[in-house]
Structure 1
Amino acid sequence: MGAAPWIVSDDLWERIEPLLPRRERRFRYPGRKPVPDRQVLCGILFVLFNDVQWEHLPQELGFGSGMTCWRRLRDWNEAGVWEELHEVLLAELNAAARLDWSRAVVDSPHQGHKRGLQTGPSPVDRGRAGSKHHLITDGHGTPLAVILTGGNRNDITQLMPLLDAIPPVRGRVGHPRRRPDALFADRGYDHDIYRDQVRARRIVPAIARRNTRHGSGLGTYRWVVERTFAWLHGFRRLRIRWERRADMHEAFLKLACCLITYRQLGSLCY
């Protein structure tokens, strides 16, 4: 049997450890020795995979307390660790020619919640409050950027922010790349003003139009983002939003995107 999914492999830890902020050591009143970062990260992944409450994190597994894990996740998110890790992983994929820049695909299904900021009544789910995960992937379904908003935000309002959120991806000779050749989207993104804005960035818009028959053929390319959402929601913590704080839910979301990108390297299997 393979290792539990929340166990951080040596290969992944080698990429994450250099990015973690260093804590100053107290010499006069050192207090209790802090739980090692790697064990805390395992605890965070345990919550991400199993959707347990922080206070119910199994102490016998050596993760430290739930509050310790919560604080480290907060601090690492504020330090931009997950954004840096994502850029590192994308650069590795790019160097191996495993990013498909010929097209990018966007989507943003509604995601349920219980409480918190960055939520709002969904116009497509009987007004129930919730959040939206706005995602853009490459042609293989590798996450390029993700944004969290309230469920009442129209999909199209996040189209340009998603394009802006794609980090500069290194790994090849020349300038870092941030722009796909084409952008695929469903009817929720149908608006000529945004098509013009996409074209202004030298990206070809392939956006389905409303009031037209299905069978345009865009689904041949768009299915990859739907598969990536299935991978994202395979992390049980992302299915229902429990965090009151938007930044904590976003931290889980970005960490999950990093794990999916890491899996694309072939180091782990689904």
Structure 2
Amino acid sequence: MLVGVGKRQSRPWVVSDELWSLVEPLLPQPGPKRVEGRPRVPDRQALCGILFVPHTGIQWEYLPQELGFGSGMTCWRRLAAWNEAGVWDKLHLVLLRKLRSARQLDWSRAVIDSPRPGGTAGPKSGPSPVDRARPGSKHHILTDAQGIPLAVSLTGGNRNDVTELMPLLDKVPAVAGLVGRPRKRPALLFADRGYDHDKYREKVRMLGVRPVIARRGVPHGSGLGVYRWVVERTIAWFHGFRRLRIRWERRDDIHEAFLGLATCLITHRHIQRLC
């Protein structure tokens, strides 16, 4: 039995009752067992084991079974299956709805940035144009005005930041929670020089969003830092998960699953502050 589930703990991999009540309805029903054997590890305990990995950076095979998580392979398979079923995207939308219903989402502006984690593993990696062509990946992150993540994605390190601008805006879900239409677009979009391209400015305007993007070739200091610092803080939150700070997974879907899970956990922290 996993000790301490549901209580406020200093151990961040322990799943609270409140969080579990949001996750459980979204999980796919397990199929029938093909062969008799050990009882299936409960989903809640498997989720605790999954959370243990990004928080500690431990390898799957060294996951401590004495804590009740089940084996590393069990947790790995459960993570892959839940990611394929879109659990983290669904959970993120549920959390955003809760924030909007509490009027805690700030759509006045959104901020985008594309940090590059360490590590070279995985097909979605490529030679970085700013790091001696070393292979790697990029995390593309779009937040609201407070730094709450609205959309994230994973690409190769050689992907130009601006090419992921429109896909990331399109990935923002339509968030209900208040009377009227669900909200999907911010009023303004703030970005650094890496997104300086007039073609993309026009595309952003066509979505009804006003771009505020620093221009290349002007004296350093765009003045946008007073607004853009929130995404830098959110990047630090993401990279507080050790498995996102350095990419070890060769499979893109597993790294994307960690990225989606971290998005949900960061968003959930904002809900906890309301309590």
TM score, norm. by length of structure 2: 0.94
Q: Is the Cα–Cα contact under 8 Å of residues 111 and 151 in structure 1 kept in the other structure?
A: no
2:11 aligned with 1:4? yes
- What is the letter of the counterpart of residue 16 of structure 2? S
Counterpart of 1:204 (choices 189, 202, 210) is: 210
Contact 2:120 2:137 in 1 (8 A): no
Separation in 2, partners of 1:83, 1:76:
10
Tell me if structure 2 keeps the 8 A contact 1:112–1:129. Answer: no
Q: Does 1:178 align with 2:184?
A: yes
Q: 2:31 aligns with which of 19, 24, 39?
A: 24
d(CA) in 1 for partners of 2:94, 2:9 = 26
Matches within 5 A, 1:66-105: 66-105=72-111
2:188 corresponds to which letter in structure 1? A
In the alignment, which residue of structure 2 is the partner of 1:116?
Answer: 122
User: Residues 60 and 72 of structure 2 are in contact (CA less than 8 Å); yes or no, is this contact kept in structure 1?
Assistant: yes
How far does residue 29 in structure 1 lie from its aligned partner after superposition? Answer: 5.1
CA deviation after TM superposition for structure 1 residue 30, in Å: 4.3
Give the counterpart of 1:45 among 29, 33, 51: 51
- Secondary structure at 2:152's aligned position in 1? strand
Question: Cα deviation per residue 1:36-77 (whole Å; 9 max; x = unaligned)?
Answer: 000000000000100111000011111000000000000000
Instruction: Calculate the TM-score normalised by the size of structure 1.
Output: 0.96
CA distance in 2, matches of 1:214, 1:116: 35
> CA shift at 1:5, angstroms?
0.5
Let me know the Cα RMSD of the aligned residues: 1.5
Aligned-pair identity in percent equals 67
Structure 2 residues without counterparts, runs of 5 or longer? 1-7
1:216: which partner in 2? 222
Shift of 1:112: 1.8
Task: Tell me how far 1:260 sits from its aligned partner.
Answer: 0.2
- Return the letter of the residue paired with 2:59: Q
Question: Is this contact kept in 2: 1:110–1:122, CA < 8 A?
Answer: no
> How big is the shift at 1:98?
0.5
Counterpart residue identity of residue 86, structure 2: G
The ranges of structure 1 where at least 4 consecutive aligned residues each deviate by more than 4 angstroms after the TM superposition are: none
Query: Partners of 1:2 and 1:39 in 2: how far apart?
Result: 15
The question of 1:264 aligning with 2:262 is answered no
Structure 1 unmatched ranges of 5 or more: none
Instruction: Tell me which amino acid in the other structure corresponds to 1:94.
Output: R
> Which amino acid is 2:144 matched to?
D
